[in-house]
Structure 1
Amino acid sequence: MPDATAAPDATAPASTRRGGGRFPDGPAADPAGSREEHRIRSFHARRGRITHAQAAAIERHWGAWGVELDGRPLDLAALFGSAEMPVVLEIGFGMGDATAHMAAADPGTGILAVDVHTPGQGNLLALADRAGLTNVRVANGDAIVLLRDMLAPGSLAGLRVYFPDPWPKAKHAKRRLIQPSFLALVTPLLRPGAVVHCATDWEPYAEQMLEVLSAAPGLVNAHPAEGFAPRPDFRPLTKFERQGLDKGHVVRDLLFTRV
Structure 2
Amino acid sequence: MSSAIIVIPCFNEEKRLEVLSFRKYILAHPEHQFLFVNDGSSDRTALILDDMQAAVPESFDVLHLSRNQGKAEAVRQGMLQAFHTDVDYAGYWDADLATPLEMIPEFTQQLDQTPQLSLVIGARVKLLGRQIERQQIRHYLGRCFATAASTVLQLPVYDTQCGAKLFRNSLQNQTLFSTRFLTNWIFDVELLARARQLEKFFECDPLENTVYELPLNRWRDVAGSKVKPHDFLKAFFELCSIYWNYLRPSLKKPFATLPVSSVSDAVRKAA
TM norm. shorter chain > 0.5: no
Task: Give the TM-score, by structure 1 length.
Answer: 0.30
Q: Which has the higher contact order (CA 8 A, sep 6+)?
A: 2
Higher helix share goes to which structure? 2
Task: Give the TM-score, by structure 2 length.
Answer: 0.29
